[in-house]
Structure 1
Amino acid sequence: MEAKYCMTCGSAMEPREIDGIFRSACTACSFVHWGNYSVGVGALVVKDKKVLLVRRAQEPGKGYWTNPGGYIEEAELIHETICREVLEETGIEAVVKSVVALRDQPGRIHNVYIGFSMEYVSGEPTPDQYEVDAAGFYSLEEMATMNVAGFTKWLVQVALHPEGDGLNIDEQPIVPLNGYGLFRS
């Protein structure tokens, strides 16, 4: 969808070449609509060599098994979002260990998806019966007979066969940057 009115002052937008790309720019102020973006997050919670999966109860992907996840909220740190999503969808409490996967999907809405390795803390898988209708920890052998989404198969490989430590939360950065989610290798 094209921006027709400025989100800052409400004036009409016009196409203007900025940085070699035509973008919607305000006719009255300096606002530029840089594009449409969404950021999704996914949890890779492993317990006893089994990965936490949920079966989607809604489109897109209704009936497919995926890892728990969702989209970030504007006023929520990304690593808080994934902890909340896991708890809401499955009743499992888990904490972020590291960022281990990233999917970049350009399109009309450019989607970035961040995969988090998470440490199981407590709880038994209980689906929310709204977004998901089943939840549990599954082995690769069990997944072979399940309707697991393709992208989730890749993420399970990342979860069970990591090639590094990923990016870890920087709990004590050398410069305090309150309100930031900082990750480092």
Structure 2
Amino acid sequence: MEAKYCMTCGSALAEIVIDGTPRKACTNEGCSFVHWGNYSIGVGALVMKESRVLLVRRAQEPGKGYWTNPGGYIEQLEPIEETIEREVLEETGITAETTRIVALRDQPRGIHNVYIAFGMNYISGVPTADGVEVDEAGFFSLQEMETMKVADLTRWLVDIAMKQGENGLHRDRHPIVPLSGQGLFRI
């Protein structure tokens, strides 16, 4: 969807060039709103238990019928670590804790999508599909996945998670300066 009106004052937007890139900006001289583009941030979980990975089978499009790692989109005011922990619990009934960032996928398109995959520690629960977004859930080995209809991105993420062990960007629980309200990850 193309932005046509200012989200601050409601005036019409017009195309201007900022740093060589066409942008939509407010036509009201008293307003400085610029529409910088359309973006979405998705998160995915790689929850491991005894050399098996938690997967869900999609019950809706996109990807209906494919096995994927649990995930979803971040909410505007929700910290990203809480988002992925909530999504895993909602989709599978599994309680898991975010430990590190395993991989990142950048997908520039009409709505630019960034997807961040998190390694997570299994805490508790038995995989149970939510019956809305997913119709099956379980922990699966690489051998079992060979005969399953696993989405390509999930295959890539599982390969990374299995090969990198505990490597990745880990939560910085004790930064050198207090940065309240910010999710911090570091090598």
Partner of 1:71: 73
Match of 2:162 among 153, 157, 160: 160
Partner of 2:19: 19
Structure 1 CA distance, aligned partners of 2:161 and 2:54?
10
Partner of 2:41: 39
Deviates more, 1:160-169 or 1:145-154: 160-169
Match of 1:98 among 97, 100, 114: 100
Deviation at 1:74, TM superposition (A): 0.2
Partner of 1:85: 87
Q: Deviations over 1:27-68 (max 9, x none)?
A: 111100000000000000010000000000000000000000
Which amino acid in 1 is paired with 2:58? R
User: TM-score, normalised to structure 2's length?
Assistant: 0.97
Deviates more, 1:94-103 or 1:167-176: 167-176
Q: How many residues align?
A: 185
Structure 2 CA distance, aligned partners of 1:23 and 1:164?
42
Deviation at 1:81, TM superposition (A): 0.2
Structure 1 CA distance, aligned partners of 2:166 and 2:121?
16
Which amino acid in 1 is paired with 2:156? W
Partner of 1:111: 113
Structure 2 CA distance, aligned partners of 1:174 and 1:50?
36
Deviation at 1:177, TM superposition (A): 1.3
Partner of 1:134: 136
Which amino acid in 2 is paired with 1:12? A
Which amino acid in 2 is paired with 1:9? C
Structure 2 CA distance, aligned partners of 1:70 and 1:90?
13
Q: Deviations over 1:60-104 (max 9, x none)?
A: 000000000000000101111000000000000000110010000
Counterparts of 1:46-61 in structure 2 under 5 Å? 46-61=48-63
Cα RMSD (Å): 0.9
Partner of 2:10: 10
User: TM-score, normalised to structure 1's length?
Assistant: 0.98
Deviates more, 1:61-70 or 1:162-171: 162-171
Partner of 2:173: 171
